[in-house]
Amino acid sequence: MLYEKYLNTIDERAELFCNVADTIWDDAETAYGEYKAVRLITGILEEAGFEITCNIDGIPTAFKATYGSGKPAIGILAEYDALHGMSQQPCVAEKLPIPGKNTCHGCGHNLFAGGSLAAALAVKEYVDAVGRGSITLFGCPAEEGGSGKVYMARTGVFSDIDAIVSWHPEKMYMVRTRPSLANLSVIYSFDGIAAHAGGSPEKGRSALDAVELMNVGVNFLREHMPLTSRVHYAITDAGGLAPNMVQSHAEVKYLIRAVNAGEVRELHARVDRIAQGAALMTDTAVSSRVVSGCSDLITIPTLQAVANEAMHDIPLPVPTQQDMEYARALQSTMNLTDAEKEMPPYALSVRDPAPPVAHGGSTDTADVSWNCPTVQMHIGNWVVGTPGHSWQSTAQSRSPYAKRAMLYAGKAVAATIMRLMDDGEALNRAKYEHYQKTKGKYVPPIPADLRPPLREE
C-alpha cells in the first residue's frame, strides 16, 4: 500500500476520529448552528499545529484550517450539519425515535467530519516529512438546504487551492463521476383579502387559491421543460386552519433544478410568469425572494483517475458476523431492488468509475468545483439499499462498520492528496481540464445581497 507509513497514523488514532464522529452524532446540530462541532474539530486541528481562520464570510460555523505553506496547496472538505425533523436511536434495526430529540444525522455528516479530520492529520505527517506543500481542511456548514459552501465560494476562499479532495457516505465504494444539477430555491408569497367564506365570499380574494393555481400551472409546465430539469414545491403557509375564512396570505416554496445555471434562470423566469398568472386569476398580489441556490458540479477526469487508484490500493473494511446480522436485519426493512437483493449486504469491492450519467440531485460542493479542480468519493458506510435521509441511514451512522468505513475514507482522501502532491503533471492536467470546462469564470448562483440565516448558539 503506497504511503502506508502516513496512512497508518489514522489507525493509530482511530479512537480519536471515532469519538469525534460519535460526539457530533450525539450533539446533532442543524444548519448554521454547528457550534459544538466546530469547536471540537478546530480544537484538535489547532493542537496539531494548524492555523485556524474562523468566521468565513461572517458565518460563525465556517472555517479553514491550514498546515504547511506554498504549493501544492490541496484542500479537504468537512461537513457536520444534521437534519431537522429526524429522530432515530443508533445501531438498531427498527424505526425507534429518541424521545425529545428532533435532530439527527441522517446523511452521515458526523462520519464526514471524522473521516476528513483523519485525512488532514495524515497529510500533515506527509507534509512534515517532505517539507513542502500545504493542506487545508475547510469546515463547511449548512449543506442540508443552507448552501453553506456557496457563501464560502462567493468570498473566493477556495480560489487559491490547487485541488479539493472530498468524500461522502454512501452504499458503495466508488469515485463519483456524475455531475449534479444547479438549483435555485424561491419563496412565492401571495396576498389577498380576508372575508367570511360563507357570509361574504364575494369580498374575499384568496391567496391560497393563488398558490393552488400556481401549483397546477407548474404541473403543466413539467410536460414542456427539458427531461433533465426538476421542479419541486412545498406549501409553507396555507393561510390558517379555518375553512370558513378566505385566506388573505399564503406561501409556497419552489426548488428549481436544471443542468446548469443558465437553464435554471430560464426555468425560474417561466415559474415566475406562472406565479404572476395565478395572482392575476385570483386578483391577488405576488412577491418572491430567492433563499438559496447552487451551481452544477464540474467533474475532473484526471482527479477521478488518481482517486480511483488510491481507493483500489487501500484494503476495505471487512464486516464482522455481527455487522452482517445487523445489515440483514436492516435490509428486511427496506424496499430493495432485484439487483440489490443479489448483492452482498455490504459493498466488498471498489467499483470502477461509472460513465458520467446526469444526476437528479444537487450539492453545494458544486460551487467549490467551479473555483478549483474537485473530486469526490462515494464511501460504503451504509448497507446496500439504504435510502439517504432515512431512519436506517441515521441508525447506521453511529455503527461500528460505518466508523471503520469512515477510517477507510480518511485513508483514501489522504492517499489521493499525497499522490497529487507527488505528481505535478497530474495536478497540472487537472487544472487544465478545469479551465477548459469553466474558462476561469464563476458566477455565484445567489443574489449578491443574500445572507445566510445565521443562528446564535
As a whole number, the mean pLDDT across the chain is 96
405/172 Cα distance (integer angstroms): 11
pLDDT at 357: 73
pLDDT at 159: 92
117/143 Cα distance (integer angstroms): 17
DSSP 8-state symbol, 173: B
Q: Is the dihedral of CA 340, 21, 95, 93 positive or negative?
A: positive
DSSP labels, 313-355: HSPPPPPPHHHHHHHHHHHTTS---HHHHHS-SS--SBPPPPP
Q: Percentages helix, strand, coil for the chain, rounded to the nearest 5?
A: 40, 20, 40
Model pLDDT for residues 306-345, shown as the tens digit of each residue:
999 999 999 999 999 999 999 999 999 999 999 999 999 9
Q: Does the global pTM surpass 0.75?
A: yes
Are 98 and 104 spatial neighbours (Cβ–Cβ below 8 Å)?
yes
Model pLDDT for residues 255-296, shown as the tens digit of each residue:
999 999 999 999 999 999 999 999 999 999 999 999 999 999
What confidence tier does 361 reach under pLDDT thresholds 50, 70, 90? confident
67/81 Cα distance (integer angstroms): 24
Residues 235-249 have a mean pLDDT of: 96
Question: What grid cell was written down for 277?
Answer: 398568472
How many Cα atoms sit within 13 Å of 102 on the Cβ side?
3
pLDDT at 58: 95
Q: Set out the domains of the chain in order of their start, with CATH numbers.
A: 4-180+297-438 (3.40.630.10), 182-294 (3.30.70.360)
Model pLDDT for residues 383-407, shown as the tens digit of each residue:
999 999 999 999 999 999 999 999 9
What confidence tier does 418 reach under pLDDT thresholds 50, 70, 90? very high
Torsion angle of alpha carbons 143, 148, 152, 154, nearest 10°? Answer: 110
pLDDT at 354: 83
pLDDT at 358: 66
DSSP 8-state symbol, 194: -
HEC sequence for 227-277: CCCEEEEEEEECCCCCCCEECCEEEEEEEEEECCHHHHHHHHHHHHHHHHH
215/221 Cα distance (integer angstroms): 10
Are 367 and 182 spatial neighbours (Cβ–Cβ below 8 Å)?
no
SS3 391: helix
pLDDT tops 80 at residue 359: no
21/111 Cα distance (integer angstroms): 5
Model pLDDT for residues 24-79, shown as the tens digit of each residue:
999 999 999 999 999 999 999 999 999 999 999 999 999 999 999 999 999 999 99
Model pLDDT for residues 76-134, shown as the tens digit of each residue:
999 999 999 999 999 999 999 999 999 999 999 999 999 999 999 999 999 999 999 99
pLDDT at 155: 95
| Residue 251: count of CB within 10 angstroms of its CB | 20
pLDDT at 110: 98
pLDDT at 355: 82
Model pLDDT for residues 252-265, shown as the tens digit of each residue:
999 999 999 999 99
